[in-house]
């Protein structure tokens, strides 16, 4: 295991509470350099469902998502002069020059992109038009990785702890998203209080983009000037100032800024963290009636449940043992009956893996 902070942007190492020093499983199944969901290296992936491919393109991988970057992480990127981040800084500068999705709180996707994202199906990992603007195709990686946001920090296509691992990373994403919202608001409040007082930091609720937004055109010059005021043309400097404000905070100050919502989300995260690390099986298990079952040409069987991207492959004979788990008797009683009647058994480690994937579920 490694500290939770190792999975997060560098900035958070001095900002988040001690809880984030706790260890988390290394997600060895979700490989980025040799993408586990690409055709050349797919392992444990559900390759197709109802004839529709579930594998990813090699030139997108899972990066068919446009991150919403808070002002302080953009400022951190601009403040980092390392040569390996030069391409990321160049792309961010181009984004600022385009003036689409540029606000004092966020650098984000256009309204057109968000409309497509919300209303598209089966595109994830497979639509080149939805690829992240910070993705570098030749190396197959992220150009702003040290300053990625909540979604990019917590998404994996497969989890070593299965459904419990997925829930842990999802609750961590919720906590980090709250952190991004509150810290970005706090920074703007110090530099541009009228923006916050006018409630411009509230989420946009419209689902009907304007004609200009559908064409990915920037807002009118006068509206952009009114939005940025004295910072117009100095957006990068504004974001650097936001970074300076946020990095000067202490963990206690961050907890105060997150408030009661932060306290609640931290307790939820603690619970999901304990569940993800637990190796305890429920006393009674049953085969999940909603699990997908796909027989493979070699006679083995692929079983899926909690995720369309992850499956467990077992010898075909093992499936005849799984159906004995009906939820009507304890696990140990079922195992003893299998040993007595079929001279077969499923090791506890296998049962735990099947439970984590929710092929077997608590009765």
Q: Helix 235-247 and helix 162-191: axis angle, to 10°?
A: 110
For the chain, what is the mean pLDDT? 93
pTM: 0.93
Task: State the pLDDT at residue 53.
Answer: 64
Q: What percent of the chain has pLDDT over 90?
A: 88
Which residue ranges does the chain devote to CATH 3.90.930?
A: 285-362
Owner of token pair 């920074």: 187
Helix (H) or strand (E) holding 190: helix 162-191
Q: For the segment 170-192, what is each residue's pLDDT rounded down to a tens digit?
A: 999 999 999 999 999 999 999 99
Task: State the pLDDT at residue 50.
Answer: 45
CA distances to 324, 333, 343, 344, 350 from 340, rounded to whole Å, are: 13, 11, 6, 8, 19
Q: Does residue 51 carry a pLDDT above 80?
A: no
Phi and psi (nearest 5°) for 96? -65, -40
**Choice between 345 and 202, residue whose per-residue pLDDT is larger:** 345
Q: Does residue 49 carry a pLDDT above 50?
A: no
Q: Using pLDDT thresholds of 50, 70 and 90, give the confidence band for residue 205.
A: low
CATH architecture of 285-362: Alpha-Beta Complex (3.90)
Mean pLDDT across 97-113: 96
Phi and psi (nearest 5°) for 5? -60, -25
Mean pLDDT across 102-113: 96
Q: Using alpha carbons, select from 257, 283, 253, 285 the residue that is nearest to residue 363.
A: 285
Q: Using pLDDT thresholds of 50, 70 and 90, give the confidence band for residue 39.
A: confident
In the numeric block, which tokens belong to residue 139? 């190396």
Q: Using pLDDT thresholds of 50, 70 and 90, give the confidence band for residue 42.
A: low
């Amino acid at each position: 295991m490694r500290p939770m902070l190792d999975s997060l942007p560098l900035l958070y190492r001095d900002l988040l509470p001690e809880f984030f020093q706790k260890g988390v499983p290394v997600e060895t199944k979700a490989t980025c350099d040799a993408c586990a969901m690409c055709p050349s290296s797919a392992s444990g992936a559900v390759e197709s469902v109802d004839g529709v491919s579930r594998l990813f393109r090699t030139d997108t991988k899972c990066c068919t998502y446009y991150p919403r970057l808070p002002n302080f992480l953009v400022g951190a990127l601009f403040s980092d002069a390392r040569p390996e981040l030069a391409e990321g800084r160049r792309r961010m500068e181009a984004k600022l020059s385009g003036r689409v999705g540029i606000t004092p709180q966020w650098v984000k996707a256009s309204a057109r992109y968000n409309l497509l994202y919300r209303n598209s199906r089966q595109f994830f990992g497979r639509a080149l038009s939805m690829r992240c603007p910070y993705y570098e195709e030749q190396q197959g990686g992220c150009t702003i990785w040290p300053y990625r946001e909540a979604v990019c920090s917590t998404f994996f296509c497969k989890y070593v702890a299965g459904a419990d691992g997925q829930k842990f990373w999802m609750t961590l994403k919720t906590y980090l998203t709250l952190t991004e919202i509150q810290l970005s608001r706090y920074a703007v409040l110090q530099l541009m209080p009228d923006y916050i007082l006018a409630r411009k930091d509230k989420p946009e609720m419209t689902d009907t983009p304007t004609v200009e937004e559908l064409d990915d055109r920037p807002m009118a010059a006068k509206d952009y000037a009114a939005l940025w005021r004295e910072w117009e043309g100095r957006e990068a400097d504004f974001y650097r100032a936001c970074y300076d404000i946020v990095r000067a905070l202490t963990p206690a100050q961050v907890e105060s800024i997150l408030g009661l919502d932060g306290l609640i989300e931290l307790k939820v995260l603690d619970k999901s963290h304990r569940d993800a690390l637990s190796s305890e099986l429920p006393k009674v298990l049953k085969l999940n009636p909603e699990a997908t079952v796909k027989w493979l040409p070699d006679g083995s069987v692929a079983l899926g449940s909690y995720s369309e991207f992850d499956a467990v492959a077992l010898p075909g004979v093992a499936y005849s043992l799984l159906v004995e788990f009906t939820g009507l008797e304890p696990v140990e009683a079922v195992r003893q009956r299998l040993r007595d009647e079929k001279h077969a058994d499923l090791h506890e480690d296998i049962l735990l893996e099947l439970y984590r994937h929710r092929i077997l579920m608590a009765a």
